[in-house]
Structure 1
Amino acid sequence: MKRFVSMLLFMSLFFTMFATVGQAAEVVPKLFLNGNLLTSAVNPQIINNATVVPVRTVSEGLGYQIVWDNTTKAATVTHGSNIIKLKLNDNIALVNDQKVQMDTTASVIKGTTLVPLRFIGEQFGLDFEWKATEKEVHMYEHATEPTEPVIPTDPAVPTGLITEVAYNGESTLTVSYEGVSKANKPLVLDSPKRIVFDFPNTGLNTFLSGQAVIDVTDSTYLQKIRYSLFSNSPPTVRLVIEISEDTGYVLTEDLGKFKLTFMPLADVPVDPNLPVDPPIVIDPQEPPASNDMFDVVIDPGHGGSDPGAKSVLNRWEKEFNLSVALKMKALLDKEPKIKAHFTRTGDTYPSLDDRIKFAENLKADLFMSIHANSGAASASGAETYYYRENSKALAAVIHKRLIAATKIKDRGVKKEAYKVIKQTTMPAVLIEAGFLSNSNDAKMLFDDAAQTRIATELVAGIKEYFKVK
């Protein structure tokens, strides 16, 4: 308890002093995590007398996963069973579904989410040290106090050292090393789409900095490359490569060198040693031919602890999504050739993985996720998203019907890697029926007659796609 009180006293003094310095001289501090310099496209800022820092930079430095949902304008940080949700322009965070007030709102600058440093310290369990002379903020993970005496051991010595990370300006990235090094199986993440490689028992040559960022311009495949000494025990180097959609790669290894060659996904060669099933060719413009029952999954977005976007009418997106879905249910239940299944029929929150698993287990013929948008007050209109080619024809039909129902601006059919339409395998679409942040759109979306029109047209679109009379 004494250590905790001392920590609070220090943090109070630190934030007061730092805010004063920031107002007088606009000092931009350097951020260090466990001794490693953290770099980001956006520097720490002073907002409403509170110091805010890039949450992705800190969380990824700790090995946490962070995902940005452009639909809800929210960032989700995951570490083990702990989940932190931060919403744009909101000073209330959800920590394991419990509301926590922050010193100031979460904000986005140049595409980077910034949150109060005090909140980072409290929720990520970090200690702070302010070095006034150097104008540096040092963050440290809490050391675990052993319950029994521990015999000191020498620090682990890496078996390999990375000596160079080189990008040729086109489609090849080369990682050179000395000694013995292996790359773990890569992790592919979204928002932004990136590939994460860890090199265990590997350190960085003294000529390389603790963390470096390579911005890539004019590349078809790459957006950004960054690497760092991710962990000291055991020594681990992490390489993160932000890539464009529909980008694949081939990893080749040679003595002292890893070579990544990037290319369109369709051009990635198939391992000849893997068994290959006979190809099944389906015309993406035509729905599956069948005289049997069609299984359709309707997914009312958000729900429960995740309310989605808030409208200018002080009502939540989850209400609109569910209301339209239930109106669709009443109509679909009367269709003899369509069996409707719903990811939720009440104010509950199935996770995105639960929704995907639900549709996959049913071997559904179609998946539709219902949402409403949010943005600037002037933004208006409806749009329909798809990801895979087998969903493009469905998106065109559904969007035509959506515009007929809403009678608002046509923002078009768009391709986007939203998880529920990317990781499902059946034709899948996600609709954004209008902008809750626009007063005209919001009034229409929460009008019962308009919701009935939307439900009726969406059901008609499903029937049109399946050519059901």
Structure 2
Amino acid sequence: MRKSYAAWMLLLFSFCLLPGLAMAAPAQAQDQLKLMVEGKSVDADVPPVIDQGRTLVPVRVVAEQLGATVTWDDVSRSATIVRGQTTLELTLDRKAARKNGKDVQLDTAPKVHNGRMLLPLRFVSESLGLTVGWEEATRTVIVNSPLTVSVNGSGLAAASTVYVIDGTAFVPVDALANSFGLKDWVNKQTIHQTRTIDSVRVAPLDEMRDLLGVDAQWDQKNSRITFTRDTNFTGVEVDGEKVSIKTTNRVTPASFTLEGPHRIVMDFPQTHLSSKMQNGLDSSYQGIAYQASAANDSDDRETTQNNRVNDQAAEMPSWLSGIEENNDSEDVAVDALSQVTAASVPVASDAKPPLVTTIRYSQYQPDVVRVVVELSQKSNYDLSQQEDGVSVTLKPAPRKTGYLIVIDAGHGGHDNGASGVAGNKEKDYNLAVANKVVKLLSQYKEFQVVATRSTDVYLTLQQRVEIANNMGADLFLSVHANSFTPTSRGTETFYYNANSEAFARLVHSYLVKATGFPDRTVQIQPFYVIKNTKMPATLTETGFLTNEIENKQLMSPAFQDKIAQALATAIREYYLQNQ
């Protein structure tokens, strides 16, 4: 180091003698710009500056603080930086540089300011194998040797950069929380010393250790931080439409649904089977699940085996099973067919029929427990994290019991739809009429009527379509009101698919008669809710909220009753015509 420093002083002296070195500073000045290397603040004789969004620092910082040697070529006006096995060549005012003999392009060129050569810190540091971060709040550039982070022996799956600030290791909050299945819970907690570096939230190692309830060790000699926590899956409890997954620590799984049969799949990270649950595994079917209802006769066993094969194909990743899987999970199986064993937890069948038919579990990956809840029908669900596991609240879709009609009140919640000339909102008109239609149709015992929304809530277009398609609806009607210019008037009805034309024309004939508004005819349009529903579907635009005459009538409860009666009558007539 003494020899390198002497070389640097000679280099600095030569710089001072170079003509033309007192150039103007880069466009963006260095007001209050700070530099921290290996956890300690650095006071450079020439402060760092920012040029084109990149921090430039004096050569002296590179030589002294980063442990590199720097030589200067006066003829080529270039600096050569060597650290370990890495050699960098940078030239004043040129973005073209070289790393270990290969050409690279810089975002900003080296500059000269106040007689000192300034180099792009991030490029130099990262090229030399160092970690670099920018904290906007304090305008501080942070550089330190890289620290590896492991969780229960495995590296973090997400960004895991660790920064050292004033001797304290700051670790990535979200990556750590997610690795332990605690991201949602951590987001609700107060972290007192959180900082944001390179747009990533970090916090002191000790605070994250206590918050997550894990063991954490910082091996400074080997630049390594390890986090460990032993979480076991201990069992399940079922109470009607509520399933409790028991674990020894708080953890939230990644989850998705599959069909054939309907089931909810949950993967618990950094979790292992307890000895009790291991004893329940049936090792004769490695990596293949079975249903709790299987009987002992050969026919039932054959059926069960077929179900296992189907489950295997559905739950293994597409590259392994040869089929595609439509979910957002990252199902990764390592030698899954030979190493994953599974068992079932039988569920008492006191319900008629029970919603939950079987619960299966396995050590799907070395650090992932998979729990599969099989259902007798399609069901939505909510996950709620508990101190001792996860509560799964099931929301089964209504069973189809008759001629199923879905009535859709357009917009809702934060989506107001069009605005009326009196300040009224389309979503309110849509909901009022839709609820009246539902009430009118519900008097017919052969009808099963479902509303996509009966209150002021927001649903996506996809959710509206899924309600109708998943239930196997027979008809779909979406209620809307129109908007355009103040002089625009009239009633129009839309359909898209050929099987919807007759329904749309019948609805329109009743609707125009009820409104008395100008007839804007029946039209074909690819509106999402009528394009993607599988049954006859139509979307009505009763009138224009932007027209003073029509808006006044649309706001009238008596007029809304009249519209609802017309729509209900049209639906009833269509049903009778097609039976």
Q: Same fold (TM over 0.5)?
A: no
Task: Point out which structure has higher relative CO (alpha carbons under 8 A, 6+ apart).
Answer: 1
So what's the TM-score if we normalise by structure 1?
0.39
Rg larger for: 2
